[in-house]
Amino acid sequence: MKRILVPILICAVLLAAGYGIGRLIVKSGSKLKDGEHKVIICATTDVHGAYFDSTYTGTKSRTSLANVAGYMKQLRDSGVKPVLIDVGDILQGDLAAYYYNYVNTKDEHVAISILKYMGYDALVVGNHDIEAGHSNYDRMLKAFPKKYLAANAAAIEGRRKGQCYFNKYVVVKRDGVKIGILGMTNANIKNWLAEDKWSGMEFFVISNLVEFAIEDMRKREKPDLVVLAVHSGTGNGFPDVENEAAFLASEIAGVDIVLCGHDHKAVAMMIDGVDSQVLLMNEGKGAVVLGQAEVTLTVKDHKVVRKSIKNRLIPMEDVDPDPEYCKKFSKQFREVKEYANRVIGTINGEMDFSKALEGPSEYINLVQTVQLDASGADISFTAPLSNRGKIAKGDITFQNLVDIYKYENQLYVVKMTGRQIKDYLEFSYHNWINGIGPAFNYD
């Protein structure tokens, strides 16, 4: 069998994906006025369906995109025109997402309506967006053909064959400043999900492609500010297919800001990059915090001679929801709430999720029993998708099902030897030896 070197293969894909090696079209950059120019960039990530500020049962409230909309309204009312970016995983993880993914598919998806209302400038594809299925992320692509980004996802069939399946980057302007936003998704998608979820695509490791993609965007568009938005975890500064944002910030030239997500860990820090300090920002999950970067560009003789970046993570619990947002999407909220409160069964005892990480657990036993019954397997493995809350004895609602298992994960049956089972259990335990706090990741 012939072996093809990875760099050669990547170059071939780049050519096919329309990057235009050797035929680079260079556009002239805009001339900035001398003086200082300020740009505000705001970001969310891993929203996981947190579209509404109220839960669907009881009277509890929570942070959501309604709070983010409230903050964005404050900024815009003050005369600021921020750039707003989402870094992926918005289509799965809450009953609202489930309802508009699979139940009410006739109306416009509520996520699309919300993103339009909030005026997002760029949207990155996340692994959970792909897991929601072709019908859902293709709807997103149709609604936002220029803004929905994943430069490392190549189309290998269909009408887009030979191009990126999604868009590669988007360029926006604020105060005369040209901002290039390159988006990439997590290449581990093809290892996590069944092929029918991502049929017609091939994913490439971010670190294998990003340097060329950044250089290409810079040559074509001449941006004054470069943002790399990747659905990848922060990581530890070393190459890692799943979590490599810190590595990218320190090793990739020509980048000013790296926005990341995926691991649900909020981070904002300056990192020593190849040619300057780079802001690395991860906005956690569930619209709990909003990431904000304030960039000041000093221009002399129409050239940027200095960039300074201030950053902060803003707790959304301190921001009132946008009343107009809540009013505009009240009908969708009522639909989801009605669906959530349908009684579908009963349980004869309390189910406490907190026990899932400590020992025997009714919650985990239920999941394992369902998996064994559905598969006919001898052994079942599962991961706890929640370790907080409980379900009281009595009626079970559809919302309770989402509390128990919030992602539409797929069940796999594999043949394993006794040695493989032992090795798997030891590998899993190895990831826990540092303690419960930092050692697990629900994603």
pLDDT of 437 reads 53
In this structure, the strands spanning 277-282 and 267-272 are antiparallel
Structure tokens at 174: 């604020």
Mean pLDDT over the full length of the chain: 89
Q: What is the mean pLDDT of residues 221-235?
A: 97
Provide the pLDDT for residue 1: 34
Please tell me the predicted confidence (pLDDT) of residue 435. Answer: 53
User: Of the ranges 37-46, 120-129, 325-334, 395-404, which one carries the lowest mean pLDDT score?
Assistant: 395-404
Give 36's pLDDT tier (boundaries 50, 70, 90).
Answer: very high
In the chain, % of residues over pLDDT 70:
90
Tokens 């416009």, residue located:
108
Per-residue confidence (pLDDT) for residue 349, from 0 to 100? 84
Q: Which has more confidence, 12 or 87?
A: 87
Look at residue 14 in the predicted model and tell me its pLDDT. Answer: 45
Nearest CA to 47 among 242, 283, 265?
283
| Res 351: pLDDT | 83
Mean pLDDT within 352-378: 85
3-state secondary structure of 300: strand
Q: Is the model more confident about 16 or about 381?
A: 381
**Closest Cα to residue 283, out of 42, 14, 15?**
42
CB 347 within 8 A of CB 369: no
- pLDDT confidence of residue 159: 83
- Lowest-confidence range among 13-22, 79-88, 316-325? 13-22
- Among 215, 222, 226, 410, which residue's Cα sits nearest to residue 309? 226
Average pLDDT over residues 415-438: 80
Length of the chain: 443
Match 């890692």 to its residue by tokens.
240
| Secondary element (H or E) of residue 175 | none
Residue 17 in this model has a pLDDT that exceeds 90: no
pTM: 0.86
207-230 average pLDDT score: 97
Handedness of CA 55, 60, 63, 66 (dihedral sign): positive
Query: Could you tell me which residue, 184 or 369, shows the higher pLDDT?
Result: 184
Per-residue pLDDT band for 355 (boundaries 50, 70, 90) equals confident
What sign for the dihedral angle of Cα 416, 417, 422, 426?
negative
Q: pLDDT grade, residue 22 (50/70/90)?
A: very low
Average pLDDT over residues 102-114: 98
Is residue 383 predicted with pLDDT exceeding 50? yes
Higher pLDDT, 301 or 6: 301
Domains of the chain: 7-332 (3.60.21.10), 343-430 (3.90.780.10)
Helix (H, G, I), strand (E, B) or coil at 245: helix
Residues 435 and 442: their CA atoms lie apart, in Å, by 15
For 428-439, what is each residue's pLDDT tens digit?
Answer: 887 765 555 555
Residues near 259 by beta carbon (within 8 Å), at least 6 away in sequence: 43, 45, 85, 87, 227, 228, 229, 230, 281, 282, 283, 291
Radius of gyration of the chain (CA): 23
Alpha carbons 133 and 62: distance in angstroms, whole number? 27
- For residue 377, is pLDDT > 80? yes
Q: How many Å apart are CA 343 and CA 99, to the nearest integer?
A: 16
Distance from C-alpha of 384 to C-alpha of 356, rounded to nearest angstrom: 6
- Tokens coding 323: 């009343």
Looking at residue 8, what is its pLDDT? 33
Handedness of CA 81, 111, 213, 28 (dihedral sign): negative
> What pLDDT, on the 0 to 100 scale, is given for residue 7?
36
Phi, psi of 317 (to 5 degrees): -65, -20
When pLDDT is averaged across residues 3-29 and rounded to a whole number, the result is 39
Q: Does pLDDT of 322 surpass 70?
A: yes
Please say if the pLDDT value at position 179 is more than 60.
yes
Sequence-separated (6 or more) residues with CB below 8 Å from residue 410: 193, 194
Tell me the average pLDDT across 420-433.
84
Q: What is the structure's pLDDT at 162?
A: 86
Q: Which of 5-19, 276-290, 369-383 has the lowest mean pLDDT?
A: 5-19
Report which of 365, 438, 367 is spatially closest to residue 406, judged by C-alpha positions: 367
Using the predicted structure, report yes or no on whether residue 440 has a pLDDT greater than 90: no
**How confident is residue 18, by pLDDT bands cut at 50, 70 and 90?**
low
**pLDDT-based confidence at 28, cuts 50/70/90?**
very low
SS3 398: helix
Q: What is the pLDDT of residue 215?
A: 97
The one-character DSSP state at 403 is: H
The CA-atom distances, in angstroms, between 350 and each of 169, 207, 361 are 49, 47, 11
Residue type, 392: A
In terms of DSSP bridges, do strands 390-391 and 351-352 run parallel, antiparallel, or are they unpaired? antiparallel
